[in-house]
Protein backbone atom coordinates (compact mmCIF):
# COMPACT_ATOMS: atom_id res chain seq x y z
CA UNK A 1 0.00 0.00 0.00
CA UNK A 2 1.37 3.43 -0.93
CA UNK A 3 0.75 6.40 1.31
CA UNK A 4 0.65 9.77 -0.47
CA UNK A 5 1.57 11.79 2.61
CA UNK A 6 4.97 13.45 2.51
CA UNK A 7 7.13 15.04 5.19
CA UNK A 8 9.95 17.55 4.93
CA UNK A 9 13.25 17.15 6.72
CA UNK A 10 16.99 17.34 6.38
CA UNK A 11 20.01 15.09 6.82
CA UNK A 12 21.97 15.53 10.03
CA UNK A 13 24.89 13.33 11.11
CA UNK A 14 23.91 10.77 8.47
CA UNK A 15 20.28 10.44 9.60
CA UNK A 16 17.06 12.08 8.46
CA UNK A 17 15.51 14.61 10.84
CA UNK A 18 11.89 15.50 10.09
CA UNK A 19 10.83 19.13 10.51
CA UNK A 20 7.57 18.21 12.26
CA UNK A 21 6.24 15.34 14.30
CA UNK A 22 4.36 12.55 12.51
CA UNK A 23 1.73 10.05 13.54
CA UNK A 24 3.77 7.22 12.02
CA UNK A 25 4.37 4.39 14.46
CA UNK A 26 7.94 3.36 15.27
CA UNK A 27 9.28 0.86 12.76
CA UNK A 28 7.26 2.22 9.84
CA UNK A 29 9.22 1.80 6.62
CA UNK A 30 9.68 5.05 4.70
CA UNK A 31 11.19 6.10 1.39
CA UNK A 32 13.50 9.14 1.47
CA UNK A 33 13.96 10.98 -1.84
CA UNK A 34 16.50 13.84 -1.93
CA UNK A 35 15.19 17.08 -3.45
CA UNK A 36 17.14 19.06 -6.04
CA UNK A 37 18.84 22.00 -4.31
CA UNK A 38 17.56 25.50 -5.02
CA UNK A 39 19.68 27.37 -7.61
CA UNK A 40 22.38 29.42 -5.90
CA UNK A 41 22.01 27.64 -2.57
CA UNK A 42 25.12 26.30 -0.82
CA UNK A 43 24.05 22.76 -1.73
CA UNK A 44 23.70 23.71 -5.40
CA UNK A 45 27.15 25.35 -5.42
CA UNK A 46 28.73 22.28 -3.81
CA UNK A 47 27.02 20.00 -6.34
CA UNK A 48 28.33 22.14 -9.21
CA UNK A 49 31.87 22.05 -7.81
CA UNK A 50 31.72 18.25 -7.50
CA UNK A 51 30.70 17.99 -11.16
CA UNK A 52 33.71 20.11 -12.17
CA UNK A 53 36.39 17.85 -10.69
CA UNK A 54 37.53 16.76 -14.16
CA UNK A 55 38.53 20.26 -15.26
CA UNK A 56 42.19 20.72 -16.14
CA UNK A 57 44.23 23.53 -14.60
CA UNK A 58 44.89 24.92 -18.10
CA UNK A 59 41.14 25.39 -18.54
CA UNK A 60 40.98 27.37 -15.30
CA UNK A 61 43.94 29.50 -16.39
CA UNK A 62 42.22 30.24 -19.72
CA UNK A 63 38.99 31.18 -17.98
CA UNK A 64 40.79 33.51 -15.55
CA UNK A 65 42.58 35.29 -18.42
CA UNK A 66 39.24 35.82 -20.20
CA UNK A 67 37.76 37.23 -16.99
CA UNK A 68 40.71 39.62 -16.54
CA UNK A 69 40.45 40.80 -20.16
CA UNK A 70 36.80 41.67 -19.65
CA UNK A 71 37.28 43.66 -16.45
CA UNK A 72 36.62 47.39 -16.44
CA UNK A 73 37.64 49.88 -13.75
CA UNK A 74 34.97 50.47 -11.14
CA UNK A 75 32.89 53.62 -11.55
CA UNK A 76 32.54 55.24 -8.15
CA UNK A 77 30.68 58.29 -9.46
CA UNK A 78 27.51 59.11 -7.53
CA UNK A 79 24.68 58.65 -10.06
CA UNK A 80 22.56 61.25 -8.26
CA UNK A 81 25.18 64.03 -8.30
CA UNK A 82 25.37 66.05 -11.57
CA UNK A 83 28.61 65.88 -13.52
CA UNK A 84 30.81 68.96 -13.71
CA UNK A 85 30.69 70.92 -16.95
CA UNK A 86 27.17 69.89 -17.85
Closest CA to 6 of 15, 19, 14: 19
Whole-structure pTM value: 0.41
What is the spatial distance between Cα 32 and Cα 8, in angstroms, rounded to a whole number? 10
What is the spatial distance between Cα 63 and Cα 67, in angstroms, rounded to a whole number? 6
| CA 64 to centroid of chain Cα atoms | 22
For 8-50, how does the pLDDT look when each residue is reduced to its tens digit (9 = 90+)? 998 999 999 999 998 889 999 999 998 888 888 888 877 887 8
- For 42, the enclosing helix (H) or strand (E) is helix 42-51
For 55-85, how does the pLDDT look when each residue is reduced to its tens digit (9 = 90+)? 777 877 887 787 787 776 666 777 787 777 6
Amino acid sequence: MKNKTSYRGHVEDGGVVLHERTSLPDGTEVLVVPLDPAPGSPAAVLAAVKRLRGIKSEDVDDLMSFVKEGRHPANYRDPLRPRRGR
